[in-house]
Structure 1
């Protein structure tokens, strides 16, 4: 897909990229967005969006190198600068996933996590890395998250077959014009409540890596009604909002202001860099819509319902803050800060209580429940 750099920038400013399909192709509208916090050192890989026209199957995925666990320099680039193990890991995992999907599309491999796991293992074992002198249980060689959706269209049934695949705390979703945003993956953390994850940001219990065993989790959805939108995103998008409903609001509020796929991606880029504290990557594929204008109109009712039911009563102080639930929503008198903090938490709880059932419709069971 053609790519454009939204705003010409000169180093050392961080880079930002948007890719999109040219006007949509046969009912498939695709875009992806990538940004970094530090020029040349962004540890998210570029998003993967692939669609095989002959077999009507595809894959979207994102990869977030785990900077804390993989902070050791691992590879020196042509510019002489060193890249961390996390930087290398996300790129290598993207390459492995793309190669795996090419074989799946050619009917020489199965679209199952066991085979993808094998590709990841082989590519990571042959990737550049340097042994770390720093030990500890949190240290990893070439650690990265992975979250994506393998899909196969069933046009005669007006449906799509979905197989989300993930490791770590990046996420995959499906967005329906009737029922809204549904998460398809469960974070590999000890906490599973999406609002508590926003408030506490716990460590991951499983990531793709080169030196320890890891799991690629999956679930299978045999049929999801068209039209719909598939989304994969790293936590730079959904980890710096105030409630889980805010991420769906971001998707829909930018869609209704856009005139085509590129504008939608560019608006998502502009919005995320205004609030995030991390590198970001997002892959999006809309399927079953007659045109971009049809898609935009189709989600208007859902946008109105979301705004009324889930964002009602939003404290105005949140419009001036980036990170939810930290106790920093107000300045000045300590008593004022406590009252503001309590008011924000009460609104978050109310929003989440109203939003949770629909959002978790396709949430996979905890891993220990189906091993």
Structure 2
């Protein structure tokens, strides 16, 4: 992977291409172009990107409050020799872990949520390294043991505030770990704890979720309208579970993982897919795509936001863009252009959300894991 790069420059040049497949900057139904937001100071952000034939990857990470972001930097790795890879995101739970846990060398105090997400990232990194290099078991149980070990060694302070919602070093995790096989097939497992999500993105069916939030509510639209507490998350002082779903896919394919700063502040689940595809349609390379995504999410989110994405089996971003051009038009016309405009919108917006979600939901939930009681 290339080194992290802070981006605060002018917007990238839009790529040449078909006019009917590219977003129009003057279309009122489109999200505002990122360049129009650059007048305000940009919060801290970093991006990683990698492009080579058959593999394109990118990472976007932003902080809402400079120096206080509780999302860890996303993780992406692909081992070419072993033909294995992994991407993951980690969202420190600020409410449950808001107590101070560590003082950095510069004197800044970090919360338990900040520490927890970084420690979980380190544990996942070490686990994947040992899976590839040392033959460690690639099971959620083994990943859980790594998480528990690293959390037990992390700095902690006992808080005077106690309660059922308090946690030590709490964080979410959402990851996709995959193994490339013969006959252009990929075996993957989605791993998660909490309410961050992993997805696959397909040209025909669009964005499909691979994880189920650990909350009492699991309807993606209702989760946009409410903020239920998590029923399971990684932490240092209580038992937790890393859930898993295993599936096989054919090349080419796209996997991504994101924290709720990306998908939790849009009108409908389809709009998150639209953000991914509308920016892809303007990009000539991984860096441009990452920068456009970064600008979009900073324009609508009210939280830290992090995302990791990897595309396998595509020659380059232009190939990827061509594969998703028809899907972009479908999402734009069916799920975005019809959004009500004007005043007194509350009920009209709600009705539009319900209608578009009914149409979008079946494909989106194709790979949604069953409820625990359905697995029994």
Q: TM-score, normalised by structure 1?
A: 0.90
**Counterpart position of 1:95:** 122
- Over the residues paired in the alignment, what is the CA RMSD in angstroms? 1.5
Preserved CA contact (<8 Å) 2:177 2:188: yes
Is 1:235 equivalent to 2:260 in the alignment?
A: yes
Is 1:368 equivalent to 2:373 in the alignment?
A: yes
Pairing partner for 2:347 from 311, 317, 342: 342
Preserved CA contact (<8 Å) 2:47 2:60: yes
Preserved CA contact (<8 Å) 2:52 2:316: no
Report deviation, 1:132: 0.8
Structure 2 SS opposite 1:274 = helix
> Which of 280-289 and 223-232 deviates more?
223-232
**Counterpart position of 1:139:** 166
1:318-348 residue CA offsets vs partner (Å, 9 max, x unmatched): xxxxxxxxxxxx5xxxxx3xxx211000000
1:169-201 residue CA offsets vs partner (Å, 9 max, x unmatched): 000000011111100000000000000000012
- The CA distance in 2 between the partners of 1:5 and 1:307, in whole Å, is 30
How many positions carry a matched residue from both structures?
345
Taking the TM superposition and a 5 Å limit, the aligned residue runs for 1:74-223 are 74-154=101-181, 156-221=182-247, 223=248
- The CA distance in 2 between the partners of 1:53 and 1:313, in whole Å, is 44
Report deviation, 1:245: 0.3
1:181-230 residue CA offsets vs partner (Å, 9 max, x unmatched): 10000000000000000001211111000000001000110x21221111
List gaps (5 residues or longer) in structure 1.
318-329, 331-335
- The CA distance in 2 between the partners of 1:159 and 1:177, in whole Å, is 17
List gaps (5 residues or longer) in structure 2.
10-37
Is 1:356 equivalent to 2:357 in the alignment?
A: no
Structure 2 SS opposite 1:316 = coil
1:211-265 residue CA offsets vs partner (Å, 9 max, x unmatched): 00001000110x2122111110000000000000001001000001011001100
**Counterpart position of 2:54:** 27
Structure 1 SS opposite 2:238 = coil
1:285-305 residue CA offsets vs partner (Å, 9 max, x unmatched): 011001211111110011112
Preserved CA contact (<8 Å) 1:13 1:38: no
Preserved CA contact (<8 Å) 2:8 2:42: no
Preserved CA contact (<8 Å) 1:47 1:281: yes
Is 1:314 equivalent to 2:339 in the alignment?
A: yes
Preserved CA contact (<8 Å) 2:283 2:317: no
Is 1:71 equivalent to 2:98 in the alignment?
A: yes
- The CA distance in 1 between the partners of 2:194 and 2:239, in whole Å, is 13
Report deviation, 1:33: 0.5
> Which structure's relative contact order is higher, taking Cα pairs within 8 Å and 6+ residues apart?
2
Structure 2 SS opposite 1:87 = helix
Structure 1 SS opposite 2:135 = coil
Report deviation, 1:159: 2.2
Pairing partner for 2:73 from 24, 36, 46: 46
Preserved CA contact (<8 Å) 1:180 1:359: yes
Structure 2 SS opposite 1:95 = helix
Q: TM-score, normalised by structure 2?
A: 0.89
Report deviation, 1:311: 2.6
Runs of 4 or more above 3 Å deviation: none
- The CA distance in 2 between the partners of 1:14 and 1:298, in whole Å, is 33
**Counterpart position of 1:282:** 307
Report deviation, 1:107: 4.4
